[in-house]
Structure 1
Amino acid sequence: MLTAHFTAIDKAGKASAYDNSSATYKAAIDNFDKQVGEILKALEQRATFKKENWLVIITSSKGGPFEIPPAQNDNTIFSNPNVNTFTIFYSRNTIRVTLINLIWEAVFLVIFYGLRVGYLLR
């Protein structure tokens, strides 16, 4: 297992904007993409890589402030950019990744609908 913590994207977002239209933010994302590529390349160069069953999960710890246009704001958790995160799964074994994606989707639906029901009951 490898765990890494990258902070440059959040720092760039705080310094400029959490939006691809910001050159600083976009450059931080491009640099992060390069770093992830280097990690994947290092994994693939392991002598035992073909016998190993790696699952790479990349996720953000939080979203960032971003103004949602009023026409796109549905007043749900999806319109709250501070809690919107992304998660990427990668494995050379796509069947396993598909199953894991389905499990994560089910967990998300339980959490989302649980929050939504709690929100509606207020």
Structure 2
Amino acid sequence: MARAATTSDVFNAIAEPRRREILVLLRAGERPATEVARELGMTQSGTSKHLRVLREVGLVRDRRAGKQRMYRLEARGLRPVHAWAGGFEQFWSESLDRLDAYVQELQPDEKE
């Protein structure tokens, strides 16, 4: 039986496209939650929920600045994703090497 979807780990948290959009936006630097909502055309409450999930799994950090809450990317939280995706690097490298060899075979021999 499949386990229920949770947001308790990084993989589940970034499965949500809006959360990935938030992470991309925060790559450029720290922003208040209100600006994140405005930039992405989201409601303030929806943005806050997504930011809470991202904070709980360690992908963003927040701090108070007056009445605003400022959020910034915590890229170290993406290490498990990087490690997992990196496992496919050899597959892609080998595939691209085979494609390159095939393209080279199709090229006319310069000596002819």
Coarse TM-score class (shorter-chain normalised):
under 0.3
Structure with more contact order per residue of length (Cα contacts < 8 Å, sep ≥ 6): 2
TM-score, normalised with respect to structure 1: 0.25
Bigger CA radius of gyration: 2
**Higher normalized strand content (fraction of residues):** 2
